[in-house]
A and B are shown apart, each in its own frame.
Chain A
Amino acid sequence: MGEVIVVTSGKGGVGKTTTSANIGCGLAMHDKKVALVDADIGLRNLDVVMGLENRIVYDLIDVIEGNCRLKQALIKDKRYQNLYLLPAAQTKDKNAVNPEQMLKLCLSLKEDFDYIIIDCPAGIEQGFKNATAGADRAIVVTTPEVSAVRDADRIIGLLEADELRDPVLILNRIRPKMVERGDMMSIEDVTEILAIDILGIVPDDESIVVSTNKGEPVVGDEAAAAGQAYRNITRRILGEDVPLMDLNVDNSIMGKLKRFFKG
């Protein structure tokens, strides 16, 4: 029996889709059988981030409406043979699905897959309710900005009210130099405010843009810092105890001294 993990954030543009794609690929790299589900009906994007946009025949709505079987709609990934994508419909809107239907879909996916990763749309309305309906665990993605953290707090409240207890946090797009000079909230600042456990941190990395351009998730890029960040996150999802990556720019004695005095 597989596990359903929803990736959510409240605010748009903080990296939900990129995170979903990288976690999906990361788990597949560990030989897990993974289904990525794009729950952003009407604004699908997980297909392009995965580089699978040319292979779509059927979508999530087709499955729910019974136009095709579930297996027909699942697209096999190019690189990882255990990885499949269930794309969102582009022509419908969020009200074309209801939470009961999503729950049913998740239950049938759980029979065949080890992990089902659901990319949740932004917002707290119908799309959020659909995406969380069948989830066993939740990952909240945020960036170290006031607006993103505020929305993450709201989402955490809604998840807990929805019986999705103990969501975990991914802090995305950290810029270590700005944190060091006190112009960006640190990991500690954000976790203290949100009072939840951290699953991982991802540095703001140009290689994300490059990999998204190519449709190849960065987790497969051995040289990229963000790739390492997502590989660590994947291992933690699998239950390993992996320390948070060291983002400090200046690791010389002077650098350490400077940090010590700044607190």
Chain B
Amino acid sequence: MALDFFSLFSGKPRSKNIAKDRLKLVLVHDRANCSVDVLEMLKNDILKVIAKYMDISDEELNIQLTKATSDKNEEVPMLIAEIPFTNVRKPKAEPATKE
């Protein structure tokens, strides 16, 4: 009882909630058949494309898998990318074909 009382107010998360959160995250990856490696490669490619148009920093880029509910009310994996940028660059003109 003393232990219960203590942990109720200490704000320490219950270990079962930690288990649930970890499990949910790992299952999003398992179910989507998407490994951390694939996500890392994807991140690098996205970075390359965006960098053509905007100034962004690698560290602030956050790409993760999560789940969402589709129009048909089914749970589907969702890719979320947060990409803070500082400046939009004028895209370099494609080398003009000489007339």
Contact = CB atoms under 8 A, between A and B. Distances in A.
Interface of A: 145-146, 149-150, 153-154, 157, 179, 181-186, 189, 193, 258
B17 interface: yes
> Which label, helix, strand, loop or mixed, suits the secondary structure of the A interface?
helix
B72 interface: no
Contacts of B27: 150, 153, 193
A213 B71 CA distance: 54
A163 B99 CA distance: 63
Given A146-B23, A150-B23, A182 B17 contact: yes
Contact of B30 (A153, A189, A258): A153
Nearest to A179: B16
Contacts of A193: 20, 23-24, 27
Contact of B23 (A149, A182, A183, A186): A149
B17 A150 contact: no
A182 B20 contact: no
Given A157-B31, A179-B16, A258-B4, 6 more contacts: A145-B19, A149-B23, A181-B14, A182-B15, A183-B16, A185-B19
Contact of B22 (A146, A153, A184, A189): A146
A150 B16 contact: no
25 contacts: A145-B19, A146-B19, A146-B22, A146-B26, A149-B23, A150-B23, A150-B26, A150-B27, A150-B30, A154-B30, A157-B31, A179-B16, A181-B4, A181-B14, A182-B14, A182-B15, A182-B17, A183-B14, A183-B16, A185-B16, A185-B19, A189-B16, A189-B20, A193-B23, A193-B27
Interface in B1-40: 3-4, 14-17, 19-20, 22-24, 26-27, 30-31
A21 B10 CA distance: 45
Nearest to A182: B14
A186 B16 contact: yes
Contacts of B3: 181
A261 to B, nearest CB: 9
A193 B4 CA distance: 26
A157 B30 CA distance: 10
Contacts of B23: 146, 149-150, 193
Contacts of B19: 145-146, 185
Contacts of B20: 185, 189, 193
A104 B19 CA distance: 42
A193 B3 CA distance: 28
A172 B17 CA distance: 19
A193 B17 CA distance: 12
Nearest to A195: B75
